[in-house]
Amino acid sequence: MKENENMAWYTFKKGITSENPTYVQALGMCPTLAVTTAAINGLGMGLAVTVVLTLSNIIVSLIRKAVPKDIRIPIFITVIATFVTMIDLLMHAYTYDLWKSLGIFIPLIVVNCIILGRAEAFASKNPVHYAALDGLGMGIGFTLSLFLLGSIREILGNGSWMGIHLWNFKMFMFILPPGAFITLGFLAAFFNYLKIKKEEAAKAKAKAAKQAQAQKA
């Protein structure tokens, strides 16, 4: 029982930290760069992807035994495209402004490599509850990354956050396309730095433990 719980927690958590789709796996870069001109857009896109990812993971996992191996990719794409179109229609109907500002990137969730990637690598091989947790975790990891990037770009580039005016100091560059690449590049370096530090610390600890053991002997 304990082990099961741990396993479930790990399945959920890894998408947010150690296998973060944006900073570690570099997947789904197009919407990441394109819609993050404002924090709210990043959040909206992230949530839309989370919903599609979780639902498609569940369905793919449910039908995984009824899918012939040769045509699995077209079938997965059909499942994903169905959910994306549903989200598109629902957002158009009930969240008009957000729908308008995300524009072409809603239909493009279909080709967001995170979703097909998780369907192929995880959901098609694992039972439903793990697949759902994996989708949720990856989705939240993606949403947080987008929200962070969107916040930084909005604060530096437009002097506001979530639409709230902060100050008049604006650096246009961060809102423009080059700013997207460069901010994401520096964020990736930062998370990479944290990872390297952590690994070094772990290594030092292991070494110290070894030395202590050697001394004892």
Partner 1 sequence: MMELVLIIISAMFVNNFVFSRFLGICPYLGVSKKMDSAVGMGMAVIFVMTVSAAIAWFLDKLLINLGLEFLRTIVFILVIAAFVQFIELFIKKNNPNLYDSLGIYLPLITTNCAILGLVVLNSMLKLNFLGAVFHALGASTGFAMALIIFAAIRERLDLYDIPKPFQDLSIALVTAGLLSMAFMGFQGMVK
Partner 2 sequence: MKDILKNGVVLMLYAMVAAAVLGFVYVSTKDAIKNADLSAKFQAMKAVLTDYETGKLMVDEKLIKDKLMNSGEEKVVERTYEGVNGKVILPYYEFNVNGKKIFVLVGAAPGFGGDVKVMASFVKENGKIFLHSIRVLDASQETPGLGAKIMEEGPQKRFSGIPQSGLEKGVVVDKDAKDRSVKNKSNGVVKTSDIMTGATITPRAVANSINIMYSYLKEAVLGGEK
Q: Which residues bind partner 1 (CB under 8 A)?
A: 26-31, 33-34, 73-74, 77-78, 81-82, 84-85, 88-89, 104, 107-108, 110-113, 116, 176-182, 184-186, 188-190, 192-193, 196
Q: Does 74 help bind partner 2 (rule: CB under 8 A)? A: yes
Element (DSSP H or E) covering residue 161: strand 160-161
Residue 23 contacts residue 145 (beta carbons within 8 Å)? yes
Which stretch of DSSP H or E encloses residue 55?
helix 39-62
202 binds partner 2 (CB under 8 A): no
Of the candidate residues 40, 47, 55, 79, the single one contacting partner 2 (CB under 8 A) = 79
Please, which residue, 199 or 211, has the CB nearer to partner 1?
199
Nearer to partner 2, 75 or 128 (CB): 75
Check if the beta carbon of residue 54 is closer than 8 Å to that of residue 132: yes
Cα separation, 167 vs 18, whole angstroms? 35
Contacts with partner 2, 37-66, as mask; x by CB under 8 A? x-----------------------------
- Verify binding: residue 30, partner 2, rule CB under 8 A: no
Distance in angstroms (rounded) separating the CA atoms of residues 184 and 27: 13
The single residue among 176, 196, 201, 202 that binds partner 2, judged by CB under 8 A, is 176
If one asks whether residue 31 binds partner 2 (CB under 8 A), the answer comes out as no
Q: How far is the CB of 127 from partner 1 (least distance, A)?
A: 25
> How many CB atoms neighbour CB 90 within 10 A?
13
159: left (phi over 0), alpha (psi -120 to 50) or beta: left
* Tokens read off for 18: 């150690």
- Beta bridge partners of residue 160, listed in sequence order: 165
Query: Which parts of this chain interact with partner 2 (CB under 8 A)?
Result: 37, 67-68, 70-71, 74-75, 78-79, 81-82, 85-86, 89-90, 92-94, 96, 100-101, 103, 157-158, 172, 175-177
